[in-house]
A and B are shown apart, each in its own frame.
Chain A
Amino acid sequence: MIKKLFAVSALAGLIISLAGSTPAHDEKKPRNSGQKIERSLPVDAQATVTLCVASGALKVRGWDRSEVRVRSVGAQQVEFHRIDKNKDTSKPASRVDVMMFDKTINVRPKRDCQVFADVEMEVPTGATVQIQTRDGDITIAGVAGVYAGSQSGDIAIEGATKFVEAGSLGGSILLKDSSGRVNLSSAGGGVEVVNVRPATAEDTFEVGTVSGDILLDRVSNPKITAKTVNGTVTMSGPLAKSGWYGFTNMAGDVVLALPHDASFQLNAKVSEKYDIVSDFKLNYVNDPPQAPAPKPSVPQSAPKPPPVKQPVVEKPTLVAPFVLRRVNAFYGSGDATISVASFGGTIILKKI
C-alpha cells in the first residue's frame, strides 16, 4: 500500500516538474492576457498611423520623437504594417497600420478590429491618427490630425493642430484646445467643444447630433455649422469677425451667449409656437417680426405691441397650424452672421 502511494506521488511529481520545465510557447508570443506588450517603429514626423480594436480604452499621445510606440494590455500580438506608397524600407514609414491580435500569429483572424485590449500609443506630434473602436473610450492628445470613431464609447480630443473628424453613435465627444478644421457627429451622445480656433482661413467647423446636446464654448472658426434634431444648441464666447454661424434644430432650444459688444446680423426662422428671447436690442432690417394674425374677436384697432423690448419676448397667440416666423435683424454693425432655424424650440440671445 505504501509502495503504491509512493509510486503515485512520484509520478505526479515527475509530471509537474516536466510541465514546469517545458516552455508552452515562444517568448515572443505571450499568452498571458494581462501581460503588457510594447512595440515601436521609426516613422516619418508626419506619418499616418491607423489603429482599430473591438473594445478597450485607447489612449494616443503626441511626442517629439519620430517613432510610434504601442503598449497594450490584453493583446497577444502587435505588429506594424507599412502601407505607405513608397516601398523603400530604408526610410521611415509614412503610413503604418498597427495590427493587434488576440491569438498567436499562426491563427490570426482575417481582419483587424478584432482584439479586445487597452492600448496606449505615442506618435509624432505632426502625425495623423485614425483610431477606431467599438465599445471603448478614445483619448487623443497633442497630434496634428485626428480621425476617431467609436460606437458606444466616449471620445476626448485635446491639442489637435490641423483637423479633427470624430464620430460616435452613442458616446459623447469632447474637443478642447485645438485648432483647424473640425467635423464632429454623434447620434445619441452630446458634443462639447471648448477653445477651438482655425489653423487656416478656410477651416470650417461642423457638428451634428440626433438627440445629443451641442455645447460650443469659445469657438472662433470663421464658419460654424451646428445641427441637431432633438437637442439643445448652446454657444458662448466672442463671435469671429465676418464669421458665419448656422444653427438648425427640430426640437430644442438654441442658446447664444454673446459678449455685450457683439456685432452680428440675425436671420432667424422659428415656429410661431415658440419665442425669440433677446437680451440685445435688435434692429430689424425690414419689417419688425409680424405679429400673429389677430383672432376674430380682437378688434382691428387694437394697438400693436412695440417691435422690440428689452428683453424681447414674442409670445405666440396662434396655436395651429404651423406658421414660420422670420426675423431679420442686426445688432451693432452686424459683422458676423447668425442664421438660426428652429422648428420646435426657443431662440435665446443672452449677454455675457
Chain B
Amino acid sequence: MTRCLDEGKLQSYFDGELSIELMESVTSHLASCVTCAAAARELEQESALLTAALSAEFAASIPTERLRQRIDAAVLGERVEVAQATENSRGLAVFFSGLLNFGTQRSLGYASVMVVMAFAAIFGVVKMRSTTEPVVATTGQPAEMAKVVTVSSDDSESQPSQSAVEAKNVERSRNTRTSRPIRVPSPSAPKLAPVKLLPGERSYLQTIARLDSTINSNKRAMRPSLQVEYEHNLAVVDRAIAATRSAAKSNPNDPDAADFMFAAYQSKVDLLNTIADARLSGGRGH
C-alpha cells in the first residue's frame, strides 16, 4: 500500500508541473487510492473556485490599485537610494583619493596591514578545514523527496512548517539569494512509492494522464453543473478502478479480473474524453 500524496505534489499535478513519469505515477496512484482521489477532487474544486473568484483579476490587464501603490513606492524608494548613493560617492571619492596618496610612512603602514591580513587568511583556512562540515543529511531517499528547510535571512519566513516543500521548490530556494537550503531527515515525509503496474495498465494510465493534462490545461473555470457531473462520475469511476484493480492484483492469474479492471479504465478514458471534448469544443463558459 503506497502512502498518500501530499498536497504540494497534487497541486503540481493539477498545475501540469510534473514530469511525464511523475504524472503517470501520480495518476496511477490516484487510480488506486480512493483517499487521494477524493483529496485530488477537493483540491481541484478549490482551484476551480479560486480561479472563478479571481477571474476578474486574472483577466484584467492593468495592475490593481494596491499593486500600483506598491510599484510607485518601490520606484520612489529606488530614486531616493540613487540620490543618496550619488551623495555618498562624492565623499568616498575624496576619502579614497586621500588613501591613494602614498607617502613613506603610509607605505610601511599598508605593508604591515597586508601581512596581518595574510596571516589571518591562512589561520582562517586552517580553522575551517579542521571543523566538520555542516551536514547535508539525507535518508537515502531521492533528492526530490527530501524535506527542505529554508533558512531565510528574514525571521518571519523561517518557519519550518512552511518550508517543507518538494522537489521543485528545492531548485527555487537554491536560486534564491536570501535563502540557503539545508536538507534534513524527513522520516514522516510522504514517500511516493513506485506503483507496481499490472500488465497492460500502463497504456491506460498514459492515456488518462494525457487527457487529464488536456482538461487541466484549459484554465477557464468549468461551469458548475459540468464540474459537479464530472466530479461525481469521476469518483464513481475511480472507485470502480480501485475495486477492480484490487481484485486483479489479488487474482493475477485470472484474466477476467483484469478485464474488469480494463473495463473500468476504459470507462474513465471515455469519461475524460467526453469532458475534454466539452471543454475544448464547447461554447463559452465551459
Interface residues of chain A, those whose CB is within 8 Å of chain B, are 52, 54, 111, 113-114, 134-135, 151-152, 167, 169-170, 185, 187-188, 208, 210-211, 227, 229-230, 248, 250-251, 269, 321-324, 326, 341, 343-344
A187-B256 in contact (CB<8A): no
List residues 213-270 of chain B with CB under 8 A from any CB of chain A.
225-226, 229-230, 232-233, 236-237, 239-240, 243-244, 246-247, 250-251, 254, 256-257, 259-260, 263-264, 267, 270
A208 with B225, Cβ < 8 A, contacts A134-B282, A151-B282, A343-B247 known: no
A185 to B275, CA, bound (A): 13
- List B contacts of A326 (CB < 8 A): 256
Interface centre among A152, A250, A324, A326 (most CB of B within 10 A): A250
A343-B243 in contact (CB<8A): yes
Interface residues of chain B, those whose CB is within 8 Å of chain A, are 225-226, 229-230, 232-233, 236-237, 239-240, 243-244, 246-247, 250-251, 254, 256-257, 259-260, 263-264, 267, 270-271, 274-275, 278, 282-286
A269 to B236, CA, bound (A): 21
A322 with B282, Cβ < 8 A, contacts A152-B225, A211-B232 known: no
15 A-B pairs besides A152-B226, A210-B236, A229-B240 with CB distance below 8 A are A114-B283, A135-B225, A170-B226, A187-B229, A187-B274, A210-B271, A227-B263, A229-B237, A229-B267, A248-B263, A250-B260, A250-B264, A321-B247, A321-B251, A322-B246
A185-B229 in contact (CB<8A): no
Task: For residue B215, give the distance in angstroms from its CB to the closest CB of chain A.
Answer: 13
Task: For residue B35, give the distance in angstroms from its CB to the closest CB of chain A.
Answer: 19
A227 to B254, CA, bound (A): 21
Q: List 11 A-B contacts (CB under 8 A).
A: A54-B283, A151-B225, A152-B226, A167-B274, A169-B229, A187-B274, A188-B229, A250-B243, A250-B244, A321-B251, A343-B240
A62 to B275, CA, bound (A): 31
Which of the residues B240, B244, B278 comes within 8 Å of A169, measured between beta carbons? Answer: B278
A269-B256 in contact (CB<8A): yes
Task: For residue B134, give the distance in angstroms from its CB to the closest CB of chain A.
Answer: 51
Tally of A-B Cβ pairs under 8 angstroms: 96
A230 with B247, Cβ < 8 A, contacts A187-B233, A248-B263, A324-B257 known: no
Task: For residue A190, give the distance in angstroms from its CB to the closest CB of chain B.
Answer: 13
Q: Mostly helix, strand, loop or mixed at chain A's interface?
A: loop
A211-B251 in contact (CB<8A): no
A134-B283 in contact (CB<8A): yes
A188 with B243, Cβ < 8 A, contacts A227-B263, A324-B251, A324-B256 known: no
Task: For residue A29, give the distance in angstroms from its CB to the closest CB of chain B.
Answer: 22
A151 with B256, Cβ < 8 A, contacts A188-B229, A211-B233 known: no
A52 to B257, CA, bound (A): 42
A151 to B267, CA, bound (A): 17
